[in-house]
């Protein structure tokens, strides 16, 4: 069928016309198909290498026979459980098809072509995508260069300087992906308190379960003080449910009501709701996951030290390592060894690779492959 791409481009909304879609980590099946190899390991997408809670698996299996019917569109049970977990009314909860879905809802509700959003350099790639898709303008604040704060980290003073009369949303990742840096309670609270009332601040806490630093805040407990605060969480990381896509936001009930106006019907499926509900209270599984991540991170950092590589200190389940050369070349060479990691040149970090903390066996295989590639 003949096509005229330019003709259709003229019909596209301006924000979408130049949009580059989010590129996920390379699937294992794709690499095995391309290279004709087996036993590929993937340390690219910050998934939980220890898998989901056994309770979540049992709950998913228990409801799978009911998939001929639509799920509860309000996610009532899960919203109620999340409200209890965060000590807020269930009306403060907005469920999403992963937290990416919730971030997109925020952009659709609060941004227009007349408005701006602020986020940091080296911050999560979904922020600029969500902003551009609705035709809004992005203001990207410079990150720390290492002289006044951790290199590559959010510079809150620079972000505050970007906020103007047209700003409607500020995105903050805490911890940040792909760098792994974090903001303490005092600094973040002061920043939010200083924002104008017309600015919504989104604190993306996708990796919060992994953070063990005492000064790290649970900002879901700040809603009574900050009506303009939206906190996003996910079941895709520590809870090990990435394949089911469950995320949520905690916000002022009037904000949640606005987000729920544009939320797609049945955006969280039946199996996902059941698994997330069961996973939420499996504290032992989360504790084991965090311990395994702590041990795996130490293993990776010891390996990097042995290879005389530097890295960005991370409190998540991943670490960005400086390869000392073009990261995409190292990434391509690792693929031939059957190891998938994540190049981050699109984050303006051309020499770095982001490595998900894996199991001991996966980490060992990656480090052996990395040593072979670098030598």
The residue extents of the domains of the chain are 25-51+284-374, 54-280
Mean residue pLDDT of the chain comes to 94
pLDDT in tens, 242-299: 999 999 999 999 999 999 999 999 999 999 999 999 999 999 999 999 999 999 999 9
Give the angle 75-78-83 at the CA atoms, nearest 5°. 115
Burial class of residue 331, CB neighbours in 10 A (0-12, 13-18, 19+):
buried
Distance from C-alpha of 92 to C-alpha of 114, rounded to nearest angstrom: 28
Segment 48-69, tens digit of pLDDT: 999 999 999 999 999 999 999 9
CB 49 within 8 A of CB 293: no
Q: What is the pLDDT of residue 11?
A: 72
pLDDT at 21 > cutoff 80: no
Distance of alpha carbon 198 from alpha carbon 8, whole angstroms: 37
Rounded distance, CA 124 to CA 327, Å? 18
374 pLDDT higher than 50: yes
User: Pseudo-torsion of CA 345, 203, 192, 223, nearest 10°?
Assistant: 180
H runs (alpha helix) in the chain: 5-9, 14-17, 28-35, 54-63, 76-86, 99-110, 126-133, 156-162, 185-193, 253-262, 270-280, 283-306, 327-336, 360-374
For residue 370, is pLDDT > 70? yes
Decide if domain 25-51+284-374 falls under CATH 3.30.70.270: no
What pLDDT, on the 0 to 100 scale, is given for residue 318?
98
Per-residue pLDDT tens over the stretch 81-116: 999 999 999 999 999 999 999 999 999 999 999 999
Helices (H), ranges, 200-282: 253-262, 270-280
- Give the tens place of pLDDT for each residue, 114-171: 999 999 999 999 999 999 999 999 999 999 998 888 899 999 999 999 999 999 999 9
Separation between Cα atoms, residue 341 and residue 333, nearest integer Å: 11
The H-or-E segment that residue 205 falls in is none
Q: Residues 199-225: pLDDT tens digits?
A: 999 999 999 999 999 999 999 999 999
Strand partners, 139: 118
Cα–Cα distance between 171 and 138 in angstroms, integer? 11
Token pair 């922020």: residue: 127
- Band of residue 33 on the pLDDT scale cut at 50, 70, 90: confident
pLDDT of residue 34: 79
Read off the pLDDT of residues 232-245 as tens digits, 9 standing for 90 and up: 999 999 999 999 99
CA distance 122 to 119: 9
Query: Of 31 and 83, which is predicted with more confidence?
Result: 83
Question: Does the pLDDT of residue 1 top 50, yes or no?
Answer: no
CATH topology classification for 54-280:
3.40.640
Give the pLDDT confidence score for residue 119 in this predicted structure: 98
Would you place residue 4 in the very low, low, confident or very high pLDDT band (cuts 50, 70, 90)? low
């Amino acid at each position: 069928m003949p096509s005229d791409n330019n003709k259709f481009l003229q019909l596209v909304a301006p924000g979408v016309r130049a949009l580059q879609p989010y590129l996920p980590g390379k699937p294992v099946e794709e690499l095995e198909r391309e290279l004709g190899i087996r036993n590929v390991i993937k340390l690219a997408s910050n998934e939980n290498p220890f898998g989901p809670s056994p309770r979540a698996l049992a709950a998913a299996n228990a409801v799978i026979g009911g998939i001929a019917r639509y799920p509860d569109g309000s996610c009532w049970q899960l919203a109620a459980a999340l409200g209890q977990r965060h000590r807020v009314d269930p009306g403060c909860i907005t469920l999403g098809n992963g937290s990416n879905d919730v971030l997109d809802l925020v952009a659709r509700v609060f941004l227009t072509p007349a408005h701006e959003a602020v986020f940091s350099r080296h911050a999560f790639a979904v922020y600029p995508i969500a902003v551009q898709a609705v035709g809004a303008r992005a203001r990207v604040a410079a990150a720390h260069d290492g002289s006044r704060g951790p290199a590559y980290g959010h510079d809150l003073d620079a972000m505050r300087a970007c906020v103007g009369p047209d700003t409607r949303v500020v995105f903050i990742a805490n911890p940040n992906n792909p760098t792994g840096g974090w903001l303490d309670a005092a600094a973040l609270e002061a920043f939010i308190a200083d924002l104008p009332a017309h600015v919504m601040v989104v604190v993306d806490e996708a990796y919060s379960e992994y953070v063990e630093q005492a000064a790290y805040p649970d900002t879901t407990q700040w809603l009574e003080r900050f009506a303009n605060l939206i906190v996003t969480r996910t079941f895709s990381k520590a809870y090990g449910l990435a394949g089911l896509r469950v995320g949520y936001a905690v916000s002022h009930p009037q904000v949640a009501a606005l987000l729920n106006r544009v939320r797609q019907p049945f955006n969280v499926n039946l199996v996902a709701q059941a698994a997330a509900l069961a996973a939420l209270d499996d504290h032992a599984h989360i504790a084991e996951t965090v311990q395994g991540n702590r041990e795996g991170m130490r293993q990776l950092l010891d390996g990097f030290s042995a290879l005389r590589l530097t890295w960005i200190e991370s409190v998540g389940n991943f670490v960005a390592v400086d390869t000392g050369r073009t990261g995409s070349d190292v990434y391509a060479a690792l693929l031939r060894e059957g190891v998938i990691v994540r190049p981050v040149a699109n984050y303006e970090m051309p020499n770095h690779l982001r490595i998900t903390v894996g199991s001991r066996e996966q980490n060992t295989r990656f480090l052996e492959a990395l040593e072979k590639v670098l030598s």
